[in-house]
Amino acid sequence: MSSDDASAGGSPGYDHENARQDVIAVDADDNEQGLVNRLDAHTGDGIRHRAFTALVFDGDGRILLAQRAADKRLWDTYWDGTVASHPERGQSQEDATRQRLEEELGITPDQYDDLRVTDKFEYKRYYLNEGVEHEVCAVLKLTLDEVSIDPDPGEVGGLLWADYRHLYEHPRLYRQLRLCPWFEIAMRRDLE
């Protein structure tokens, strides 16, 4: 669909709040190449940009899966592990993660003290006819000392604690969850 079709038809796209935000375009080695419009980065063939996914665990090694809200433009109602987003220019992956954890789930920095980057990978995946993810994605992990959560319903459709290794070893048992591709990649790289 062209940009004219999206704006004229009123379909999800150019009137979306993402059209007013920028992301950091990067090369394959995650070197900054400038800012690009977030919607443009996720449309057509996409533009490679910087992103992160954060995996939140409890003391028993269970991962907190968060279902993406139904009105998300891409991968709506899919299950993510636990939040994913894009850092702003000048913002570290750790600071961006702290911000999104608080905004989406009400998880504050006093609930954990082990936030760390554990991996980074590039991937590209198309979603139906709606858009694309082409990202260099950092993986961050943390363990909650205190698991109180206050999800924002505009961001999160549901929450589920799952045994991380069981989820990885028995994907057919969790097939109905429809996992986000970046989470599946991060989990596979983490546990293989």
Q: Are strands 32-37 and 22-26 parallel, antiparallel or unpaired?
A: antiparallel
pLDDT of res. 17: 59
Contact call for residues 124 and 83 (beta carbons, < 8 A) = no
Q: Is 176 exposed, middle or buried (0-12, 13-18, 19+ CB in 10 A)?
A: exposed
Tell me which residue of 58, 52, 133 sits closest to 94, measured CA to CA: 52
Residue positions forming the annotated binding site: 42, 49, 86, 104, 133, 135
Give 65's Cβ-side CA count (13 Å radius): 21
Instruction: Say yes or no to pLDDT of 13 above 60.
Output: no
pLDDT beyond 70 at 5: no
Strand partners, 179: 79
Q: Which of 130, 135, 184, 192 is catalytic?
A: 135
Q: Please report the pLDDT score of residue 75 as a whole number.
A: 92
Q: At 114, which amino acid appears?
A: D
Q: pLDDT value at position 130?
A: 85
146 is catalytic: no
In angstroms, the CA 47 to CA 45 distance is 7
Q: Count of domains in the chain?
A: 1
Q: pLDDT of 111-143, one tens digit each?
A: 999 999 999 999 999 998 889 999 999 999 999
CATH value at residue 184:
3.90.79.10
Q: Which domain holds residue 81?
A: 3-191
- The yes-or-no verdict on residue 4 having pLDDT over 50 is no
Res 12: pLDDT: 44
Mean pLDDT of the residues in the chain: 90
* Six-digit token string for 178: 């429809």
For the question of whether the overall pTM of this predicted structure is more than 0.75, the answer is: yes
Q: Is the pLDDT at 7 greater than 90, yes or no?
A: no
**pLDDT, position 129:** 80
Residues annotated in the binding site for Mn(2+), as ranges? 42, 49, 86, 133, 135
pLDDT in tens, 77-107: 999 999 999 999 999 999 999 999 999 999 9
Average pLDDT (155-169) is 96
Annotated binding site for Mg(2+): 104
Residue 18 has pLDDT above 90, yes or no: no
User: pLDDT tens for residues 27-72?
Assistant: 999 999 999 999 999 999 999 999 999 999 999 999 999 999 999 9
Q: How far apart are CA 45 and CA 127, in angstroms?
A: 11
Neighbours of 28 (CB within 10 A): 8
